[in-house]
Amino acid sequence: MKKLLLPSIIAISAFTSTAYASNHNVVEVYKTDSCGCCTLWADGVKEAGFNVKVNIVSETELMQKYQQAGVPNNLLSCHFATYQGKDLVGHIPVDSLKNIDLVDKSKSGIAVAGMPAGSLGMYAGDYKEPYQVIAFDKSGNQSLFKSYN
């Protein structure tokens, strides 16, 4: 029995670590079925080389995700995602996603409020609105992460 215990523990630990690492490196997206710009955002993130998993949820479930993450009302957008332990809200550009490890450790996530024209997934020809990526914590504190013009 003792001869089987140690190999079993090692195998379970390896499986658990691998499963955590693979899930931790997936951009897990939560969106409603009717939102096309969310699909375009997820496609853009995937084209940039990220592993993406899209979950279709109801509007109620999406709002619950925002509430559980403590997303301030002024930062709400059309979809929610997670990546490397951070919460993601809205049309976050790929380069901000690639630099997620630069987000202040006290912040739980980053957001692009609303749906700015020209942001990833919100294509409007050559027209681009300036917008900001805001870092936030579960208490509602916010700080600028990056500006886009």
- One-letter amino acid of 86: K
| DSSP 8-state class, residue 141 | -
pLDDT at 125: 87
3-class SS at 41? helix
Hey, which bits of 36-141 come out as E strands?
51-56, 80-83, 86-89, 109-111, 131-136
d(CA 74, CA 52) in angstroms, rounded, equals 26
Query: What average pLDDT does the chain have?
Result: 86
pLDDT at 24: 60
Give 131's contacts (C-beta < 8 A, 6+ positions apart).
112, 113, 114, 116, 119, 147, 148
pLDDT at 36: 85
pLDDT at 25: 80
pLDDT at 109: 97
Which stretches of the chain drop beneath a pLDDT of 50?
4-22
pLDDT at 17: 38
pLDDT in tens, 80-111: 999 999 999 999 999 999 999 999 999 999 99
81 and 30 Cβ atoms separated by less than 8 Å: yes
| DSSP 8-state class, residue 78 | S
Instruction: For the chain, give the percent of residues with pLDDT over 90.
Output: 76
Q: pTM for this one?
A: 0.81
